[in-house]
Amino acid sequence: MAEQVRAIRTRRAILSAAAKIFEERGYQAATISEILTAAGVTKGALYFHFQSKEDLAQGVLAEQDHQQIFVPDRPSKVQELVDVAVLHSYRLQTDPMVRAGVRLTMDQLAHDLDRSGPFVRWAEVLTGLLQTAKAQGELLPHVEPAETADVIVGSFAGIQSMSQAMCDYRDLPARVAALMRHLLPSVVLPSVLTSLHLGESRGSEVYAEATKTARLRQAAEAAG
């Protein structure tokens, strides 16, 4: 059991160090040697968990999905979609692992790295929410959920990239709120729009709710 705990801690240390180096230097310029130094582990320990720099990068890309921070179910799936977006925005501002994952995803110099995974996962999540929203009568009749999901994912990618370049994500909540105000009227029924929470503080509120839900779930699993 102690060895398993040590292995988990070592893997986390390696991923945290890799995230820091990838965010600072980009995929192409980052080296295994720099990551080893930042993590404070041996080469053998690193290669026990990750076989290559590409494997490390994929680990960073996947880590944000393993942190079990999810938006709770909402009666309105459009509100749930908004909350998914603003939660990700908040985590971009506060979580180095998420920032590193986004840096890797947007790194066009990472020619030998498959960067499609996050885009595919986000599109799948939003497509599912939009399909349910359409079935519940929240969307305009012409909306094709998969197409709309792709537009939202691509637009968000551009907005976050612009925010990162201009002010290191400080204005991201305002930009995401503006994005939603511009996009949603073209796909959502007016009666649904008036009930949505789109304020700039929504991300921190959803994060607090999501982390509380995650802690309660973990406590229930430990007790059961």
Per residue in 131-146, pLDDT (tens digit) is 999 999 999 999 999 9
Mean pLDDT, to the nearest integer, of 81-98? Answer: 94
Mean pLDDT, to the nearest integer, of 156-173? Answer: 95
Mean pLDDT, to the nearest integer, of 80-109? Answer: 92
Whole-number mean pLDDT of the chain? 91
CA–CA gap between residue 61 and residue 19 (Å, rounded):
9
Give residue 6's pLDDT band: very low, low, confident or very high (50, 70, 90). Answer: confident
CA–CA gap between residue 51 and residue 39 (Å, rounded):
16
Last residue of a domain, one of 40, 60, 80: 60
Q: Are residues 55 and 72 in the same domain?
A: no
Report the DSSP beta bridge partners of residue 188.
139
- Identify the domain containing residue 80 by its residue range: 67-223
Please tell me the pTM assigned to this model. Answer: 0.87
- SS3 labels along the chain: CHHHHHHHHHHHHHHHHHHHHHHHHHHHHCCHHHHHHHHCCCHHHHHHHCCCHHHHHHHHHHHHHHCCCCCCCCCCHHHHHHHHHHHHHHHHHHCHHHHHHHHHHCCCCCCCCCCHHHHHHHHHHHHHHHHHHHHCCCECCCCCHHHHHHHHHHHHHHHHHHHHHHHCCCCHHHHHHHHHHHHHHHCECHHHHCCCCCCCCHHHHHHHHHHHHHHHHHHHHHHC
Q: What total of structural domains would you count in the chain?
A: 2
Q: Are residues 134 and 94 in the same domain?
A: yes
- Per-residue confidence (pLDDT) for residue 190, from 0 to 100: 96
Q: Are residues 96 and 147 in the same domain?
A: yes
- Per-residue confidence (pLDDT) for residue 34, from 0 to 100: 93
Q: Are residues 43 and 151 in the same domain?
A: no
Last residue of a domain, one of 27, 60, 93: 60
* Both tokens assigned to 116: 């499609």
Give residue 199's pLDDT band: very low, low, confident or very high (50, 70, 90). Answer: very high
What is the per-residue pLDDT across 10-51, written as a single tens digit (0 to 9) for each?
A: 998 999 999 999 988 888 999 999 999 999 998 998 999 999
